[in-house]
Amino acid sequence: MAPIHMQPAHAPLACCHVPCQRLARHVQLQGSAQGCQGWHYQPLPGLARRVATCALHINRRQHFELAWQRQQMEESLIAGAGEETAVTEPMEVRSLPHLEKLVEKAGSAVVVISFYTRSCGGCKDMLKHYRQLCMEASKQRAGVRFLTHDVRNEFDDLTDIARLYGVRAVPSFVFLSGGAKVRQVVMRDTRSLSGSGEHIRRVVTRERSQLAIVMREMLFRNAPSAKK
């Protein structure tokens, strides 16, 4: 019986983005004491191993470069959050420290956060209406700060901000006053609605009206005359 050449258990494994068929050689094992037959990987040859190691080093370097860029962007956002600017568009919140800086800057003003995901069709329509509310509030010089936030991070997990305010469904709107959550409005995704197009339009119109009503209530509650 021909001898069986088994791969040592401690042999190094290669992991990289280079196609495996270019780096690994398959060795078919034929015959054994139990008559088994299967496939097994041999260690990568010298050149292929060097290519794989180089690819790993490149990926690691890219990871640290992206992490550094994200850190620089976050520091820039936090530094710019305290600047006086005319707010005519909702501002995207990137992180919890960024949100804390914006809430601190808002003071006693109402802060509204529109929570969304990129895959939510209803969120896109609601964000358009949200931008209109922001422009109207800016013209009227209402004490409202409009923010937006994607509840999913780059790993498709819930962000710290979404967990902090208990946001599980989108589109959702969270109202803050003095940094504390005082109201939350959850809308329905139009993709989950059934019925005719006219019925869906009525539902969307009703929910937009509800959001506007809550907005007026929050403004009235935070008006100087209402606090006396």
What element of type H or E holds 20?
A: helix 20-23
Contact present, 44 and 52 (Cβ < 8 Å)? yes
For the stretch 151-189, pLDDT in tens is 999 889 999 999 999 999 999 999 998 889 999 999 877
Produce one character per residue of 90-112: b if its CB has 16 or more CB atoms within 10 Å, e if not: bbebbbeebbebbbeebeebbbb
What's the longest Cα–Cα distance across the chain? 97
Beta bridge partners of 111: 145, 176
For the stretch 114-161, pLDDT in tens is 999 998 888 888 899 899 989 988 888 888 899 999 999 988 999 999
Backbone angles phi, psi at 54, to 5 degrees: -65, -40
User: What's the whole-model pTM score?
Assistant: 0.64
| Residue 89: count of CB within 10 angstroms of its CB | 12
What are the structural domains, with CATH classification, of the chain? 20-69 (no CATH), 88-227 (3.40.30.10)
The residue type found at 179 is: G
Beta bridge partners of 177: 110, 180
Quickly tell me which residue has 């013209």 as its tokens.
139
At 112 the three-state DSSP class reads strand
| Gap between the Cα atoms of 228 and 226, Å rounded | 6
pLDDT higher at 191 or 73: 191
Q: Where are the alpha helices (DSSP H) in 81-175?
A: 96-106, 121-139, 160-164
